[in-house]
Structure 1
Amino acid sequence: MANLVGGLLVRLWALLFIFQSCQAKTVTYDFNVTWVTANPDGLFDRKVVGINNQWPLPTIEVDKGDQLVVNMFNGLGDKDTSIHFHGMYQNGTNNMDGPSMVTQCPVPPGSSFTYNFTVNQNGTYWYHCHTDYCYPDGYRQALIVHDTESYFHNMYDEEFVLTMSDWYHTLVEDIAPHFITLANPTGAEPIPQAFLVNDTMNTNLPVKAGKTYLIRLINVSAFVAQYFYIEDHTFKIVEIDGVYVDATEADTLYISVAQRYSILVTMKNSTEKNYPIVTVADSVLLDTIPSDLQLNHTNWLEYNSTAAHPQAVMKVDVASDLVPYDDMTLIPHDRMELLPDADLTIELSVVMANLDNGAGYAFFNNISYTKPKVPTLYTVMSSGNLSTNAEVYGDYTHPMILEHNQVVDIVLNNADTGSHPFHLHGHNFQLLHREPSYGKHFYDYEDSTDGLTFDASNHKAFPQYPSRRDTFVAPPMGNFVIRFVADNPGVWFFHCHIDWHLAQGLAMLMIEAPTQIQERMTIPDAAYDTCKAAGVSYEGNAAANTEDFLDLTGQNKQVAWLPAGFTTKGIVAMVFSCISAFLGMAFISFYGATGIQAKKQEENESADTDS
């Protein structure tokens, strides 16, 4: 009898698999990546990265189970590029993940790269360039995975996507030379000129009275987090970063760079008014706030197109009056329990400091990520039985070797006065602890000199059903603990998603189950052709040495450390002393020359008088 039941179950599972396979389809996008001109804030025309000569970029839409194929041609002419599909696990397709010099070579102008993978997950995601810092130039957009079997599928009538972004009038290629430089020793991030919703301003969402809408919120910014609320409306959170959560009522969200939320909003029964949808930039992140930078923006739930579209009545003090819902308290709808105690604990300290060139850099445990000469995945594939030896991946990529199916904790202590949204490729993770808590006390330790270090022997009990997401914010001078299972062989980037901080080196590599990577993965010849076109090595260790993988001579290195005794304040003083000295010499030269000319003129006049 048991055998009969077992056989029936096997057949049922087989039929279900066949049915799902029949339902799945291949969705293909052909992307010609080109420069176009845009002026989304109405203030300044500038070049942006478009696709097929269009900007804003197309939203990628698939159903769960579909095969997604994106044929990308780099038609920029002067920039390398790539695509990262943010939040996609890429289980079995790590080579499709997209970060240059991690899982592939950069795609040079005139070359193509095909991304091809199965989407076996659901929810709200986005895609963006992941080569140097490139997506602030507009190369980012939503990626939506529809799921007709979600528990809330029948709870709404229509859906909208709202992207939020900061916007720069200057090309990254013109900003970058002035960012990591002696002239900016504090590492002050570039201040954007505007903030956009759906790559424009004054957006209307046309709604009908009494209807319920699913609104997908995505922060595709390079730098600035946003507060979000809707005047005179509450909403129910049903998804964060692709993870369904129990429907939870809230009125305000804090959405950092790269985070996503899906919310259900039920409309009022009257059509007399339109209601402001409010986004407020987190000004605490900004070193300076220019007088012409508008931090708060109003868009609208448009019940009646002929009615007034009022500006939002803003809170007086954003930091204290806008108290967002704490994402750690959300409960996953699948009731996944707390994972077992960690097999491996990775302890990280975040520091922002200066190196010998006087510029500001970012560090995990005194290592500022410096890209290798060979994409790390390709080092895995070419290193044979040395793939489990972290040395072959270089001293400055900060590689961590994870064993297959290990439970891993990351304990992160933020010794910086700024907050940081950290993203792990290839996984979502459980949120076990954060101190200080999200909301009103989040910035309590911003000006602290000591900060809060996680105490493994003295902390609140971890949740029974921890919230999960793929991007989590570390508080200023605070800490967090996250946990995941290393069940997805691949090379996965862990980094701050503020693009300026990634450029400063706030990143490291998780090299997960390298032996299984070699056994299960094949890199297509076309990917190696991309490397050849880019002039990048695709075999060898981090120094591109194929003869001796333990010889890292010639590897890319971070800038040397400052001599003992130098401080940021000292560097600033030195910079301005040099500037003052230069100006002083210029003034002396100018006035000295003026005096000499005056004396000569006086002598000439005297000679004329004598004659």
Structure 2
Amino acid sequence: MTRSLSGFLNPISLLLFTSFACAATVTYDFNITWTKANPDGQFERSVIGINNQWPIPTIRVNIGDQLIVNAYNGLGNVSTALHFHGMFQNGTTNMDGPAGVTQCGIAPGSSFTYNFTVAQPGTYWYHSHVRGQYPDGLRGPFIVNDPNSPFKDQYDEEIVLTLADWYHQLPSTLLKRFISYANPTGAEPVPESALMNDTQGLKIHVEPGKTYMFRVVNMAAFAAQYFWIEGHTMQVIEVDGVYTDPMEASMLYFTAAQRYSFLVTAKNDTKANFAIVAHMDEDLFDAIPAGLNSNVTSWLTYEDNADFPQAKEISVEDLQPFDDFDLVPVDKMELLGEPDQTVSLDMIMDNLSDGANYAFFNGITYVRPKVPTVFTALTSGEMATNPAIYGVNSHAFVLKKDEIVDVVLNNLDPGKHPFHLHGHTFQVIARSQDDEGVYANNVTFPKIPMRRDTVLVRPNGNFVLRFKADNPGIWLFHCHIEWHMASGLSVTMIENPLDLQKSLTIPEDHYKACKEANIPTIGNAAGNTKDLLDLSGANVSPKPIPAGFTTRGIVALVFSILAAFIGLAVISWYGAAPLGASTQVAAEKEIAEAQMEHDIARGINTGSVPVSH
């Protein structure tokens, strides 16, 4: 990393950061590579690291800095991309990172530069936004320091903790088993372990009487985590980059992608050490494998020679975290006005004609378009305001400048799901408990709602989010369980595309990345430049199940043909140890061949399905 001083970039920066004499340009040079790791001490496997190291670096900047990340794809066998989770990317939507949305994936042997102003303080993270990659290890903390934090004088030191779930097989390979005719019920892979700072048994030294600010990020692919520190209370002061009035908590619940910052004051007595516990939410798992340890334990260390006690046993009934809905932002932003547009989303998990499980909003499962959505918006003129040109399976909603938008989500599924909106924080103005069904529009909204960028919907429940469309760009709204994102649980917000055409300039290296990956950068979702409403040849999902053909019928059919493929598929999915990039390529090839043979045998025309590059 290099760090150099520069002047403010524009008048807006000058207004935002008048407290600084000058901003810095912070540069990271990342070679994204395969390496080896054994973080839980049970199994060494290939992981995606940076500069041949894993865990990957923590990005640290100050508010107002210009961040430059020069990313080189040294993986050799797959494309990649980086998303800076929680960054608004005002004026730089093309730096947001989702491949096929705001950029082309970075092909093996290619480079790509991310360059944007960091305009907001808080606790964030960065990760791959290519399916199945970030649980392979390509995820790390992103910390934005704020010299004007309202809590800067209330703590002595800062501690960054990450939570994660960990798989012994390559998640990019597990994904092939998850979205498969052999898994029609959609059972997600259960992780083998939980990690804290990408290890287990971490010891965090503290000094008596000092106050520490903990920044905690859940970087999990799947598992939410209950979190507590035995013998201590936490004062929550930030969620997802939003400062909050302090609120005491004895236990926190982190869905995948959520962040909390909180203050902990060390005891004056140094005779004992105390367990820091994260416990994976087993409600998310269809089945709990024998021997699974859902806990990861670290310790607040007062005395190195004292005992390091095991975490105390706790019952399911005792897992009672505080409710983030009650948090009050420090800035006291009041409830936004009545919505100009309401995006209503009914969420289900179901099967399509290939027998595999998918995730749906309003009957549509997301499929990446042939032309990344940002390029369609930039090259379609006045037609950019027509959601049809972005393709059925991009599931686009066009937002007008500065309109107030409500997102009403009805979870018609018995599982918990964390949802994240790119480019914004949102006000959480309504959220049901379990099994309350479809939103009934009979809730009194809080005067000063809690704000964050990732929120949980309860099983068979609902929520209502509200935000202002004041950030022109292309923004995904999606479930942050990686298995569900890959199976299509996403929509695209096209925000003020006509202003975007006037204000956004795409750097030449971004176009070069598309050229090297043979991805078009003009036209509608199908790459059609003559008739933008002609979506012939667009990437689409498999066809719906024929009428009368139930999921139970799919299960019966699957088991009738499994014997023919057991030798090939099971060896690929369960028996092959993850030995590196070559094994990953071989496993994907074998499974793809098995799927193709199966489809040919059944005479299914599945259309174009998303491909993991």
Q: Does TM, scored on the shorter chain, surpass 0.5?
A: yes
Q: Which of 340, 343, 359 is 1:343 aligned to?
A: 340
CA distance change for structure 1 residues 94 and 297 in 2, over 3 Å: closer, same or farther? Answer: same
Provide, for residues 83-102 of structure 1, a one-character-per-residue CA deviation record: whole Å limited to 9, x for no partner. 00000000000010000010
Q: Which residue of 2 aligns with 1:563?
A: 546
CA distance change for structure 1 residues 17 and 119 in 2, over 3 Å: closer, same or farther? Answer: closer
2: distance between equivalents of 1:401 and 1:582?
Answer: 44
AA aligned to 2:129 is H
Provide, for residues 93-115 of structure 1, a one-character-per-residue CA deviation record: whole Å limited to 9, x for no partner. 00100000100000000100000
AA aligned to 1:453 is V
**Residue 466, structure 1, aligned to residue 449, structure 2:** yes
Q: Which of 394, 397, 402 is 1:397 aligned to?
A: 394
Equivalent positions of 1:384-463 (< 5 A) are 384-436=381-433, 444-445=434-435, 452-456=437-441, 458-459=442-443, 461-463=444-446
AA aligned to 1:254 is Y
Q: Which residue of 2 aligns with 1:302?
A: 301
**Residue 203, structure 1, aligned to residue 202, structure 2:** yes
Give the 3-state SS of the residue equivalent to 1:173 in structure 2: helix
AA aligned to 2:438 is T
CA distance change for structure 1 residues 156 and 395 in 2, over 3 Å: closer, same or farther? Answer: same
Shift of 1:526: 1.4
Shift of 1:19: 4.8
AA aligned to 1:452 is G
Shift of 1:575: 2.1
AA aligned to 1:495 is H
How high is the sequence identity, in percent, across the aligned residues?
55
Q: Which residue of 1 aligns with 2:250?
A: 251
2:238·2:244 contact (CA, 8 Å) conserved in 1?
Answer: yes
AA aligned to 1:175 is L
2:206·2:301 contact (CA, 8 Å) conserved in 1?
Answer: yes
CA distance change for structure 1 residues 511 and 305 in 2, over 3 Å: closer, same or farther? Answer: same
Equivalent positions of 1:429-578 (< 5 A) are 429-436=426-433, 444-445=434-435, 452-456=437-441, 458-459=442-443, 461-578=444-561
Q: Which residue of 1 aligns with 2:586?
A: none
AA aligned to 1:467 is M
1: distance between equivalents of 2:149 and 2:129?
Answer: 30
Provide, for residues 56-82 of structure 1, a one-character-per-residue CA deviation record: whole Å limited to 9, x for no partner. 000000001110000000011111001
Provide, for residues 383-417 of structure 1, a one-character-per-residue CA deviation record: whole Å limited to 9, x for no partner. 11111111110111100000000000000000011
Shift of 1:165: 0.4
Q: Which runs of 5+ in 2 are unaligned?
A: 1-11, 567-613
1: distance between equivalents of 2:188 and 2:562?
Answer: 22
Q: Which residue of 2 aligns with 1:101?
A: 100
Shift of 1:22: 3.0
Q: Which residue of 2 aligns with 1:6?
A: none
Provide, for residues 448-500 of structure 1, a one-character-per-residue CA deviation record: whole Å limited to 9, x for no partner. xxx511111x22x1011100000000101000000000000000000000000
**Residue 381, structure 1, aligned to residue 366, structure 2:** no
2:89·2:423 contact (CA, 8 Å) conserved in 1?
Answer: yes
Give the 3-state SS of the residue equivalent to 2:232 in structure 1: coil
Give the 3-state SS of the residue equivalent to 2:466 in structure 1: strand
Q: Which runs of 5+ in 1 are unaligned?
A: 1-12, 437-443, 446-450, 584-611
Give the 3-state SS of the residue equivalent to 1:153 in structure 2: coil
Shift of 1:572: 1.8
Give the 3-state SS of the residue equivalent to 2:364 in structure 1: coil
Give the 3-state SS of the residue equivalent to 1:80 in structure 2: coil
Shift of 1:179: 1.1
Shift of 1:579: 4.3
2: distance between equivalents of 1:213 and 1:495?
Answer: 33
Shift of 1:546: 1.4
Q: Which residue of 2 aligns with 1:4?
A: none
Q: Which residue of 2 aligns with 1:212?
A: 211
RMSD across aligned C-alpha pairs, in angstroms? 1.6
Q: Which residue of 1 aligns with 2:604?
A: none
AA aligned to 2:222 is F
Q: Which residue of 2 aligns with 1:440?
A: none
AA aligned to 2:449 is P
CA distance change for structure 1 residues 368 and 14 in 2, over 3 Å: closer, same or farther? Answer: closer
**Residue 368, structure 1, aligned to residue 365, structure 2:** yes
2:136·2:172 contact (CA, 8 Å) conserved in 1?
Answer: no
2: distance between equivalents of 1:541 and 1:509?
Answer: 14
CA distance change for structure 1 residues 18 and 429 in 2, over 3 Å: closer, same or farther? Answer: closer
Q: Which residue of 2 aligns with 1:597?
A: none
Which range moves more in the overlay, 169-178 or 417-426? 169-178
Q: Which residue of 2 aligns with 1:233?
A: 232
Provide, for residues 347-384 of structure 1, a one-character-per-residue CA deviation record: whole Å limited to 9, x for no partner. 11000001001111000000000110000000011111
Provide, for residues 266-300 of structure 1, a one-character-per-residue CA deviation record: whole Å limited to 9, x for no partner. 01110000000011100000011111210112210
Provide, for residues 41-61 of structure 1, a one-character-per-residue CA deviation record: whole Å limited to 9, x for no partner. 111111111101110000000
Give the 3-state SS of the residue equivalent to 2:153 in structure 1: helix
Which range moves more in the overlay, 285-294 or 220-229? 285-294
Shift of 1:581: 9.7
Q: Which residue of 1 aligns with 2:135?
A: 136
Provide, for residues 524-566 of structure 1, a one-character-per-residue CA deviation record: whole Å limited to 9, x for no partner. 1211110000111111100011121111100011110001122
Q: Which residue of 1 aligns with 2:587?
A: none
Q: Which residue of 2 aligns with 1:41?
A: 40
1: distance between equivalents of 2:449 and 2:17?
Answer: 34
2: distance between equivalents of 1:74 and 1:14?
Answer: 32
2: distance between equivalents of 1:577 and 1:372?
Answer: 34
2: distance between equivalents of 1:498 and 1:169?
Answer: 18
Q: Which residue of 2 aligns with 1:7?
A: none
AA aligned to 1:22 is A
CA distance change for structure 1 residues 19 and 333 in 2, over 3 Å: closer, same or farther? Answer: closer
AA aligned to 2:261 is S
Which range moves more in the overlay, 484-493 or 293-302? 293-302
Larger Rg over CA atoms = 1
Q: Which residue of 2 aligns with 1:8?
A: none
Give the 3-state SS of the residue equivalent to 2:392 in structure 1: coil
Q: Which residue of 1 aligns with 2:576?
A: none
Shift of 1:568: 2.2
Shift of 1:14: 11
**Residue 353, structure 1, aligned to residue 338, structure 2:** no
Shift of 1:573: 2.7
Equivalent positions of 1:585-604 (< 5 A) are none
Give the 3-state SS of the residue equivalent to 2:377 in structure 1: helix
Give the 3-state SS of the residue equivalent to 1:501 in structure 2: helix
**Residue 122, structure 1, aligned to residue 121, structure 2:** yes
Give the 3-state SS of the residue equivalent to 2:140 in structure 1: strand
Which range moves more in the overlay, 165-174 or 267-276? 165-174
Equivalent positions of 1:147-158 (< 5 A) are 147-158=146-157
Q: TM-score with structure 2 length normalisation? A: 0.89
2: distance between equivalents of 1:267 and 1:346?
Answer: 46
Give the 3-state SS of the residue equivalent to 1:177 in structure 2: helix
Shift of 1:576: 2.4
Which range moves more in the overlay, 110-119 or 175-184? 175-184
2:17·2:64 contact (CA, 8 Å) conserved in 1?
Answer: no
Q: Which residue of 2 aligns with 1:602?
A: none
1: distance between equivalents of 2:110 and 2:302?
Answer: 47
Give the 3-state SS of the residue equivalent to 1:387 in structure 2: helix
Give the 3-state SS of the residue equivalent to 2:305 in structure 1: coil
